[in-house]
Amino acid sequence: MRYCNRCGADVSFIVPAGDSLPRFVCNSCGHIHYENPRLVVGCVATWEERILICRRAIEPQLGFWTLPAGFMENGETTTEAATRETMEEAGAKIIVDAPFAMVSIAHINQVHLFYRGRLASPDYAAGEESLEVALVAANEIPWNELAFRSVRHCLERFLEDRASGRFQFHETALTPLASTP
Protein backbone atom coordinates (compact mmCIF):
# COMPACT_ATOMS: atom_id res chain seq x y z
CA MET A 1 0.00 0.00 0.00
CA ARG A 2 1.46 3.36 -1.04
CA TYR A 3 -1.46 5.79 -1.18
CA CYS A 4 -4.39 6.71 1.07
CA ASN A 5 -7.64 5.34 -0.33
CA ARG A 6 -9.58 8.31 1.08
CA CYS A 7 -7.52 11.29 -0.09
CA GLY A 8 -4.81 9.88 -2.40
CA ALA A 9 -1.86 11.23 -0.36
CA ASP A 10 1.18 9.13 0.60
CA VAL A 11 0.99 6.74 3.54
CA SER A 12 3.62 5.83 6.14
CA PHE A 13 3.89 2.44 7.87
CA ILE A 14 3.98 3.53 11.51
CA VAL A 15 2.51 2.63 14.91
CA PRO A 16 -0.44 5.00 15.48
CA ALA A 17 -0.79 6.68 18.89
CA GLY A 18 -2.38 4.26 21.37
CA ASP A 19 -1.80 1.27 19.08
CA SER A 20 0.78 -1.49 19.36
CA LEU A 21 1.24 -2.52 15.73
CA PRO A 22 2.38 -0.59 12.65
CA ARG A 23 -0.36 0.43 10.18
CA PHE A 24 -0.49 2.32 6.91
CA VAL A 25 -1.35 5.84 8.10
CA CYS A 26 -2.11 8.70 5.71
CA ASN A 27 0.41 11.54 5.88
CA SER A 28 -2.29 14.04 4.95
CA CYS A 29 -5.71 13.09 6.36
CA GLY A 30 -4.45 10.69 9.06
CA HIS A 31 -6.71 7.82 8.00
CA ILE A 32 -5.50 4.48 9.42
CA HIS A 33 -5.74 1.57 6.94
CA TYR A 34 -6.24 -1.58 8.98
CA GLU A 35 -5.48 -4.90 7.33
CA ASN A 36 -6.99 -8.05 8.79
CA PRO A 37 -6.97 -11.79 8.10
CA ARG A 38 -9.38 -13.10 5.50
CA LEU A 39 -11.79 -15.98 5.91
CA VAL A 40 -11.78 -18.74 3.31
CA VAL A 41 -14.98 -20.77 3.61
CA GLY A 42 -15.74 -24.12 2.03
CA CYS A 43 -17.50 -27.45 2.42
CA VAL A 44 -16.93 -31.18 2.64
CA ALA A 45 -20.05 -32.10 0.70
CA THR A 46 -21.15 -35.68 0.25
CA TRP A 47 -23.59 -37.68 -1.83
CA GLU A 48 -24.18 -40.97 -0.09
CA GLU A 49 -20.63 -42.07 0.82
CA ARG A 50 -18.86 -40.00 -1.81
CA ILE A 51 -17.08 -36.66 -1.35
CA LEU A 52 -17.23 -33.74 -3.77
CA ILE A 53 -13.83 -32.48 -4.91
CA CYS A 54 -12.69 -30.00 -7.59
CA ARG A 55 -9.53 -29.80 -9.70
CA ARG A 56 -8.33 -26.21 -9.77
CA ALA A 57 -8.35 -24.30 -13.06
CA ILE A 58 -6.57 -21.30 -11.51
CA GLU A 59 -3.42 -20.50 -9.59
CA PRO A 60 -2.28 -21.13 -6.96
CA GLN A 61 -2.05 -24.91 -7.28
CA LEU A 62 -3.56 -25.13 -10.76
CA GLY A 63 -4.32 -28.76 -11.62
CA PHE A 64 -4.46 -29.92 -8.00
CA TRP A 65 -7.56 -31.14 -6.20
CA THR A 66 -9.38 -29.23 -3.51
CA LEU A 67 -12.65 -28.91 -1.65
CA PRO A 68 -14.94 -26.16 -2.92
CA ALA A 69 -13.91 -23.05 -0.94
CA GLY A 70 -13.14 -19.40 -1.43
CA PHE A 71 -12.93 -15.96 0.13
CA MET A 72 -15.99 -14.99 2.13
CA GLU A 73 -17.67 -11.86 0.72
CA ASN A 74 -19.05 -8.85 2.54
CA GLY A 75 -22.77 -9.14 3.18
CA GLU A 76 -22.97 -12.90 3.59
CA THR A 77 -22.89 -15.37 6.47
CA THR A 78 -20.33 -18.16 6.72
CA THR A 79 -23.02 -20.69 5.78
CA GLU A 80 -23.97 -18.63 2.74
CA ALA A 81 -20.32 -18.41 1.71
CA ALA A 82 -19.94 -22.22 1.86
CA THR A 83 -23.13 -22.69 -0.16
CA ARG A 84 -22.15 -20.09 -2.77
CA GLU A 85 -18.62 -21.41 -3.24
CA THR A 86 -19.86 -24.97 -3.71
CA MET A 87 -22.29 -23.78 -6.36
CA GLU A 88 -19.71 -21.56 -8.10
CA GLU A 89 -16.85 -24.06 -8.20
CA ALA A 90 -18.70 -27.38 -8.39
CA GLY A 91 -22.15 -26.51 -9.72
CA ALA A 92 -23.64 -28.33 -6.75
CA LYS A 93 -26.49 -27.33 -4.47
CA ILE A 94 -25.84 -28.33 -0.86
CA ILE A 95 -27.65 -28.67 2.42
CA VAL A 96 -25.24 -27.39 5.07
CA ASP A 97 -25.12 -29.52 8.22
CA ALA A 98 -22.60 -27.95 10.62
CA PRO A 99 -19.23 -26.22 10.92
CA PHE A 100 -16.59 -28.93 10.80
CA ALA A 101 -13.00 -27.63 10.74
CA MET A 102 -11.23 -24.31 11.26
CA VAL A 103 -7.60 -23.81 10.31
CA SER A 104 -5.57 -20.68 11.17
CA ILE A 105 -2.74 -20.01 8.72
CA ALA A 106 -1.10 -16.99 10.32
CA HIS A 107 1.79 -16.64 7.86
CA ILE A 108 -0.64 -15.93 5.00
CA ASN A 109 -3.20 -14.04 7.11
CA GLN A 110 -6.01 -16.51 6.48
CA VAL A 111 -8.49 -18.57 8.46
CA HIS A 112 -10.01 -21.52 6.60
CA LEU A 113 -13.44 -22.70 7.72
CA PHE A 114 -15.00 -25.88 6.35
CA TYR A 115 -18.57 -27.03 6.82
CA ARG A 116 -20.03 -30.50 6.51
CA GLY A 117 -22.86 -30.70 4.00
CA ARG A 118 -24.79 -32.96 1.66
CA LEU A 119 -25.58 -32.55 -2.01
CA ALA A 120 -29.26 -31.95 -2.62
CA SER A 121 -28.96 -34.18 -5.71
CA PRO A 122 -26.06 -35.97 -7.45
CA ASP A 123 -25.69 -33.09 -9.91
CA TYR A 124 -22.49 -31.15 -10.33
CA ALA A 125 -20.48 -29.41 -13.03
CA ALA A 126 -17.12 -27.66 -13.18
CA GLY A 127 -17.39 -23.90 -12.66
CA GLU A 128 -15.01 -21.35 -14.19
CA GLU A 129 -12.40 -21.95 -11.51
CA SER A 130 -12.47 -25.76 -11.84
CA LEU A 131 -11.05 -28.06 -14.54
CA GLU A 132 -13.23 -30.94 -13.39
CA VAL A 133 -15.38 -32.00 -10.46
CA ALA A 134 -15.77 -35.50 -9.06
CA LEU A 135 -17.63 -37.44 -6.39
CA VAL A 136 -15.01 -39.78 -4.96
CA ALA A 137 -15.05 -42.64 -2.48
CA ALA A 138 -12.64 -42.47 0.46
CA ASN A 139 -10.18 -44.79 -1.28
CA GLU A 140 -10.22 -42.61 -4.40
CA ILE A 141 -9.10 -39.36 -2.77
CA PRO A 142 -5.98 -38.12 -4.64
CA TRP A 143 -3.90 -37.55 -1.49
CA ASN A 144 -0.75 -36.80 -3.47
CA GLU A 145 -2.48 -34.24 -5.65
CA LEU A 146 -4.26 -32.15 -3.01
CA ALA A 147 -3.90 -28.39 -3.43
CA PHE A 148 -3.73 -27.25 0.20
CA ARG A 149 -2.73 -28.61 3.60
CA SER A 150 -5.95 -27.29 5.14
CA VAL A 151 -7.91 -29.45 2.68
CA ARG A 152 -5.86 -32.53 3.63
CA HIS A 153 -6.44 -31.81 7.32
CA CYS A 154 -10.16 -31.45 6.75
CA LEU A 155 -10.48 -34.64 4.70
CA GLU A 156 -8.45 -36.65 7.23
CA ARG A 157 -10.60 -35.49 10.15
CA PHE A 158 -13.76 -36.07 8.13
CA LEU A 159 -12.90 -39.70 7.36
CA GLU A 160 -11.84 -40.32 10.97
CA ASP A 161 -15.02 -38.85 12.37
CA ARG A 162 -17.21 -40.68 9.89
CA ALA A 163 -15.54 -43.96 10.78
CA SER A 164 -16.06 -43.28 14.49
CA GLY A 165 -19.72 -42.40 13.95
CA ARG A 166 -19.41 -38.98 15.62
CA PHE A 167 -18.61 -35.66 13.96
CA GLN A 168 -16.89 -33.00 16.05
CA PHE A 169 -15.64 -29.47 15.38
CA HIS A 170 -11.90 -29.45 14.74
CA GLU A 171 -9.52 -26.57 15.14
CA THR A 172 -5.86 -26.33 14.29
CA ALA A 173 -3.15 -23.97 13.06
CA LEU A 174 -0.68 -24.50 10.24
CA THR A 175 2.84 -23.08 10.27
CA PRO A 176 5.17 -22.65 7.28
CA LEU A 177 6.73 -25.84 5.97
CA ALA A 178 10.45 -26.05 6.66
CA SER A 179 12.30 -25.28 3.44
CA THR A 180 14.94 -27.79 2.46
CA PRO A 181 18.44 -26.23 2.43
Residues 42-101 close enough to bind a second copy by CB under 8 A: 71-80, 98-99
Q: Please report how close the Cβ of residue 88 comes to Zn ion at its closest, in angstroms.
A: 27
For residue 167, with 0-12 CB atoms within 10 Å meaning exposed, 13-18 middle and 19 or more buried, which class applies? middle
Among 37, 63, 122, 142, binds a second copy (CB under 8 A): 37
Q: Which does 29 bind (CB under 5 to 8 A by kind): a second copy, Zn ion, none?
A: Zn ion
| Three-state secondary-structure class, residue 145 | helix
Q: Phi, psi (5° rounding) for residue 66?
A: -150, 170
16 interacts with a second copy by CB under 8 A = no
Among 107, 122, 138, 142, binds a second copy (CB under 8 A): 107
- CA dist 93 and 120 (Å) reads 6
Q: Is the backbone peptide bond immediately before 60 cis, with ω within 30 degrees of 0? A: yes
Site residues for a second copy per CB under 8 A: 1-8, 11, 18, 21, 24, 33-39, 71-80, 98-99, 102, 104, 106-107, 109, 111, 128, 169, 171, 173
